[in-house]
Amino acid sequence: MSKLIKPHGSEVLLPLYVEDEKKRENLLAEAKSLKSMVLNSSTASNAVMLAAGYFTPLSGYMNKDNVLNVARNMTMSDGLFWAVPIINLTHNVDNLNEGDDIALLDPNIENNPVLAIQQVTAIEKLSDDELNEIALNIYGTNETAHPGVNSFLSSGKYLVSGDIKVLNYSYFPDDFPETFATATEIRHKLTDAGWSKIVAFQTRNPMHRAHEELCKMALDRLDADGVLIHMVLGKLKKGDIPADIRDSAIRKMAELYFPPNSVMISGFGFDMLFAGPREALLHATFRQNCGCTHLIVGRDHAGVGDYYGAFDAQDIFDKPVVKESLKIEIFAADHTAYSKKLNEVVMMRDVKDHNKEDFVLLSGTKVREMLSRGEQLPEEFARKEVAEILIDYYSNL
């Protein structure tokens, strides 16, 4: 039996989902008489991540002291490494008191059913200066043109902190029954497969040829047992391809173009932050919790626009606090491009004899632009069978 890497900050996973059906029913009944608040989508997705064990060893939403510590130093006040504050931020706390148990309502499902119950240990206000400092530290900017900053700064000023008990996984199991999985379930699958050296690949896009080859390079160079293709199933940004279409395209690519039993496809219920380097660290942390030993970090990982340098998300892993805290390692990828000389996708740093004209540069943005114009994708960009799924989607918009 394979022995997996330990979770972050714990010997075992600590999922916050209430497994016991009777307890869950009692808590749902109790929730009817509790004060309630409708969460924003990001806070709700964090509840799902906490429920699924991805955010082990956290037990709920952070208080102000921890939020500021994480933003400034990437550690909580007790010294635990964490890259991004996990918070319940709201505009109005008039009816809430410290010591309350409150029902947290799901914003992403009709009629806002109860998602979790939170024990309120503190209600604290963040000043405008503190909000801007947090945004600047996490996102590298406080410009509201940045989608992550805009979402954060428009979420309110009041932090409601405390432990939570989560009663369901929101819309993810119903909308993605074949793909959504908890960290616990992924660990079981990896153990059953006998894998112990596992590479995680993070994606919010359909996988074009460069992504495919990147995964194969990592498998080969690390002599890994397999790759976990792990896709974001939550809210993205305008223009991104919906998760169900991405799912179909990725499954088709893995089925046709990877060696048998070398790929596991799964997804997680999280809204992208587009926080670049800080989000790369969060991605690594919860992939360690899944049991992965390596995370592929490529050009502009979790970035948006021109807010981050191409390899900032790799460089941040060299910080002492990161090296001391995470067991997972990164597979640092260079720009990938199709080589006309070699007729294959390469990392540009690996082919010293090439000049600019020898490459066809690949990007998800370019693929989306071509698809939205109804253009066929060249073979250097995407596998024919993958392109067909994407063209079908765009033709029905």
Three-state DSSP class for residue 183: helix
Distance CA 142, CA 149 (A): 6
Q: Give Cβ neighbours of residue 216 (< 8 Å, ≥ 6 apart).
A: 258
Q: Cα dihedral angle (372, 373, 379, 385), rounded to 10 degrees?
A: 50
DSSP string, 84-142: S----EES--TT--TT-EEEEEPTTSTT--EEEEEE--EEEEPPHHHHHHHHHHHHS--
Distance CA 60, CA 274 (A): 22
Catalytic, 289? Answer no
Residue whose token pair is 């939205």: 372
Q: Cα dihedral angle (118, 151, 168, 328), rounded to 10 degrees?
A: -100
- 326 in Cβ contact with 284 (< 8 Å): yes
Catalytic, 205? Answer yes
Catalytic pick from 40, 88, 108, 204? 204
Q: Which amino acid is at 242?
A: P
**Phi and psi dihedrals of 367, rounded to 5?**
-60, -45
180's tokens = 């959504």
- Mutual angle of helices 128-139 and 276-290, in 10-degree steps: 70
Rounded-to-5 percentages of helix, strand, coil across the chain: 40, 20, 45
Distance CA 190, CA 126 (A): 42
- Burial label for 367, CB within 10 Å (0-12, 13-18, 19+), is buried
Cβ of 271: how many Cβ atoms within 10 Å? Answer: 23
Catalytic pick from 205, 246, 289, 383? 205
Which positions are catalytic?
204-205
